[in-house]
Amino acid sequence: MRELAYKRILTVQDISCLGQCSLTVALPILSACGHEACIIPSAVLSNHTAFESFTFRDLSEEIPAISKKWQELKVKFSAFYTGYLGKAEQVPYIKELKETCLLSGAPLIVDPAMADGGKLYVGFDAEYVEAMKELCACADIILPNLTEACFLADLPYREDFSQEEIRQMVMNLGARFQCKVVLTGATTDPDKSGVAVLDGEEPIFYFHEKHSNGCHGTGDVYASVFAGALMQGKSLYDSARLAADFTADCIGFTNGDADHWYGVKFEPLLGDLIEKLK
Ligand code: PXL
């Protein structure tokens, strides 16, 4: 059997106790990718914010305390992946963790999880968008969906961007934040899903089958598989493609279950992911 890489990855995002998103998705997926997953919960919610109501406990003040302890323990990570933070105040703490807890050359992967379908998630505002821009400026790789890309690029969201407009948006984000970009939802064909990957001079597009309905939490499945595959030594493009195919399979498996509108049924497909990574 090929020897798999075993990396220690830090991820900071919320615990939504119900709702199949953020840490309840990232932990099993990073483990399935064969990595040690370490976490800092950014907040604890009863359920994610697409439900009609939710509880929210901000854990911002834990971050500098944990960071200080880890500096004493001299703990270091091979990669750092951030998702939904909840509070703009956390960005300076994330920057400090990047400076103090990453091995030299380890990537900061930022999923600027703040919006979808043309709208910011409940509770977020222009100040949060500015904080995400500041965070993206420290990232090595950013993983926005099309809505987040529009907010980050100060462009009005539309559903009918041409491939050329998406190409320009990706180039603009790469130049603005000086990072690599993986833009999901980069499609002009209603029957296809697309990803635009900027890892050099020009974005490369990958198109794949689209299932009739999207579902909530797909961005978190995507980002976790992407981070896990990248840390297995796959190229940026191959990681983006593998994450796109796995996410599409999970959406296909979830579609048709109206009771499961709130999340993606990814668990029964983890075995396939493990096989694909071998
Ligand atoms: O999947 C993104 C996400 C993560 N965490 C929380 C959310 C959402 C999207 O709505 O509300 C708490």
| Domains along the sequence of the chain with CATH | 8-260 (3.40.1190.20)
pLDDT at 210 > cutoff 90: no
Test site for ligand 1: of 11, 12, 17, 48, most ligand atoms within 8 A of the Cβ: 48
Please give the pLDDT value at position 20: 96
Is residue 12 within 6 Å of ligand 1 at its C-beta?
A: no
* Highest mean pLDDT of the ranges 55-59, 157-161, 252-256: 55-59
For ligand 1, what atom is nearest to the CA of residue 22? 4
**277 to each of 33, 138, 183, 194, 261, how far by Cα in Å?**
7, 29, 22, 21, 28
Question: For all residues of the chain together, what is the average pLDDT?
Answer: 95
- The pLDDT tens digits of the residues spanning 229-246 come to 999 999 999 999 999 999
Looking at per-residue pLDDT, the higher value among 253 and 211 belongs to 253
Is residue 121 within 6 Å of ligand 1 at its C-beta?
A: yes
pLDDT at 9 > cutoff 90: yes
0.85 exceeded by pTM: yes
First to last CA, the chain: 8
